[in-house]
A and B are shown apart, each in its own frame.
Chain A
Amino acid sequence: MVCVDDAAVRVGGRPLWSHVRLDIAAGEFAAVLGPNGAGKSTLIKAILGLVPTTAGSIRVLGERPGRLADRVGYLPQRRSFDADLRIRGLDIVRMGWDGDRWGLPRPGAGRAARERIAEVVDLVGASAYAHRPVGQCSGGEQQRLLIAQALVRRPELLLLDEPLDSLDLPNQAAVAALVGRICRTQGVAVVMVAHDANPILAHLDKVIYLAEGGAVAGPPREVITSETLTRLYGTPIEVLRAGDGRLVVVGQPEPPAAHTDRHASSRTEGNRRAVR
């Protein structure tokens, strides 16, 4: 599905990451982890073909990135919809179906669209509120509708950029379980950028940890370890496993100050934090 081979990306002349190797097969669920500013979203954009690689190669569904945009679903990092927006959730999903087509729909095209939309809305469990104006749905409800929008054209690859951000803990768990289920039952390969690996840890097949100058990819148990992360970041890092299975990474370095930090408050947490 996705094959990243020794790829590197520069942003503004600076190397963001390099020597990234990653292989994701159909039905696999991979997470992109790393500190803020490590280039997690940029990896997604490189897979979409929106950011060029400066070394190595990326193949998506056997082609160069961007060639098969129709078969890739994408959920960008976002804020929520305006509360006054008078558009139903169903219409948001419909935009994923034919929102990029010019002219008027062919007569009769509406029925196939409605059937597929009902199917995908049911799949994400949004049937109860999909007919409501999307601005009046909660953050978790909006996120499910947006996942439905990304899924409606039956993509083979789903790229999700921090879909759990800004959700409360029960919703994080529910959306993570939903993505894991879609991955298994629909055979869709999923690449998810995550701020915190814990809500998705149980569903993951692979993780890729990005750092300046390098990256490590593999099964979570092999990558999220004290030895691997210490080697990757070149500074002592300890991975602790809490009683409930959650992981805590201690001593993870912050990115260079040149990056704007969206989560400014997290800097003050010092160097004790959950896996990111």
Chain B
Amino acid sequence: MTGVGLALPGALGHPFFLHAVLAGAAIAAASGMIGYFLVLRAQVFTGDALGHAAFTGALAALADGVDLRLGLFAATVVIALLLGALGRSGRADDIAIGSVFAWITGLGAFFLTMYATSGGADNAGAGVRVLFGSIFGLSAKQAVTAAVVAAAVCGAVLAVFRPLLFASVDPAVAAARGVPVRVLGFVFLALVGVTAGEATQAVGSLLLLGLLAAPAGTAQRLTDNPARAFVLSAVLAVADMWGGLAASYALPSMPPSFAVVALATALYAAAFAVGPYRRRTAASRAG
């Protein structure tokens, strides 16, 4: 770790690394915040389905000759809302997700073949870039756009934090108190869609679940206080992101998406060991 730390000041002198650090932090913070609610609402599977949507959307855009991000965000947001509409009361259910899932991935394979056969070797690599991310490949403009979008997601989640928490935990009382539970469910899914599109640019569509679920799961193991768990989830996601980028810079053979997700998973595993999971046996607490 000392070697990694010493390498950092020099690393930030490289524009590609600086872009990755800035965009990565914003993307990770948004993923951590959204991930907290995904875990709380037991909707992690939605994030997984959106990874597949992200893959297909990005490749459809490339095959169509438009900006990859256009297809990416359109696909993730539309599919997120579709999942909500198929499920009850703004919560996507497993069967709906499972059915949409396979169909979307098949479409992705179709667009990949179409794009790869239409160009040279660079086109053929597009599939891998979308699946595993290319955070060191972000231009200054792309990094700023990604950071601004991620910051907007963070702002939106903070604005709805209390009603969304209420609606997630206790929908009946929240509705009686005037919280628009169903509308809020769709707003949340749209934000999940945008976040999935963002995370795809950082760690790839196949690994975005690591950034959405692992920091949030770790935070919920470590504290029972929802406000603290929410903040901790965002902080852990940023730490995972920066730690992963640093490790990947120090060891060029290690792809950044692997390093980020590996670190997130390692911390989640560690939380199992140290976390105060004071679970009492169900039998002794029943009644």
Contacts and interface: CB of A to CB of B under 8 A. Distances in A.
Are A and B interaction partners? yes
A102 B162 contact: yes
Contact of A99 (B172, B177, B224): B177
A96 interface: yes
Interface string A145-161: 00001100000000000
Interface stretch (B20-28, B96-104, B133-141, B163-171): B163-171
B282 interface: yes
Given A83-B282, A85-B169, A95-B169, A140 B226 contact: no
Contacts of B280: 136
Contacts of B286: 138-139
B178 A138 contact: no
Contacts of B221: 86
Given A136-B280, A138-B287, A100 B179 contact: yes
Nearest to A89: B224
Contacts of A102: 159-160, 162-163
B176 A76 contact: yes
Interface string A37-52: 0000000000010100
Contacts of B169: 81, 85, 87, 92, 95
A78 interface: yes
Contacts of B88: none
B285 interface: yes
A141 to B, nearest CB: 9
B285 to A, nearest CB: 6
Contact of A69 (B170, B178, B220): B178
Classify the secondary structure of A's interface with B. Answer: loop
Given A50-B176, A76-B173, A138 B158 contact: no
Given A101-B162, A102-B163, 18 more contacts: A69-B178, A74-B177, A81-B169, A86-B220, A86-B221, A87-B226, A88-B225, A95-B169, A95-B173, A99-B166, A99-B174, A101-B163, A102-B162, A103-B158, A105-B162, A131-B224, A132-B278, A171-B287
Interface of B: 40, 158-163, 165-166, 169-170, 172-174, 176-179, 220-221, 224-226, 229, 278-280, 282, 285-287
Interface of A: 48, 50, 69, 74-76, 78, 81, 83, 85-88, 91-92, 95-96, 98-105, 131-133, 136-140, 149-150, 168, 171
29 contacts: A69-B176, A74-B173, A74-B176, A76-B172, A76-B176, A86-B40, A86-B220, A87-B169, A92-B169, A92-B170, A95-B165, A99-B163, A100-B166, A100-B174, A100-B179, A102-B159, A102-B162, A102-B163, A103-B162, A104-B161, A132-B224, A132-B278, A133-B278, A136-B279, A138-B285, A138-B287, A139-B287, A149-B173, A171-B287
